[in-house]
Copies of this chain bind each other. A is one copy, B any other.
Amino acid sequence: MHESAPPLATIAAALRRERERAGISLAELARRAGLAKSTLSQLEAGTGNPSIETLWSLGVALGVPFSRLVEPPPARVRVIRAGEGPRVQSDRADFVATLLAAGSAHARRDLYVMELEPGEPREAAAHIPDSVEHLVVAAGRILAGPAGEQVELGPGDYVSFPGDVPHYYEALEPAWAVLVMEHR
CB distance from A44 to the nearest CB of B (A): 14
A180: interface (CB < 8 Å): yes
Could you tell me the distance in whole angstroms from the C-beta of A136 to the nearest C-beta in chain B?
5
Contacting pair A76 B146 (CB below 8 A): yes
Task: Mark A74-97 against chain B: 1 for CB-CB distance below 8 A, else 0.
Answer: 101111111101000001000000
Query: What are the interface flags for A146-168 relative to B under an 8 Å C-beta threshold, 1 for contact and 0 otherwise?
Result: 10010101111111111000000
Judge whether A80 and B158 touch: CB under 8 Å.
yes
Q: Is A55 an interface residue (CB 8 A)?
A: yes
Contacts of A107 in B (CB 8 A): 103, 107-109, 182, 184
Number of interface residues of A (CB under 8 A): 75
A7, A52, A60, A151 pick with most chain B CB within 10 angstroms: A52
Main secondary structure of the interface of A (DSSP, over half): mixed
Q: Is the CB of B111 within 8 A of A79?
A: no
Establish whether residues A81 and B128, one from each chain, have CB atoms under 8 Å apart when the complex forms.
no
Q: In the complex, what's the smallest C-beta–C-beta distance from A174 to chain B, in angstroms?
A: 13
Q: Which residues from chain B contact A159 at a C-beta distance below 8 Å? A: 77-80
Which of the residues B52, B108, B176, B178 comes within 8 Å of A74, measured between beta carbons?
A: B108
By the criterion CB–CB under 8 Å, are B52 and A100 in contact?
A: no
- A56, B158: Cβ atoms closer than 8 Å: no
Mark each residue of chain A from 123 to 148: 1 if its CB lies under 8 Å from any CB of chain B, else 0: 00000100000101011000001100
Q: Which of A60, A71, A104 has the most CB of B within 10 A?
A: A104
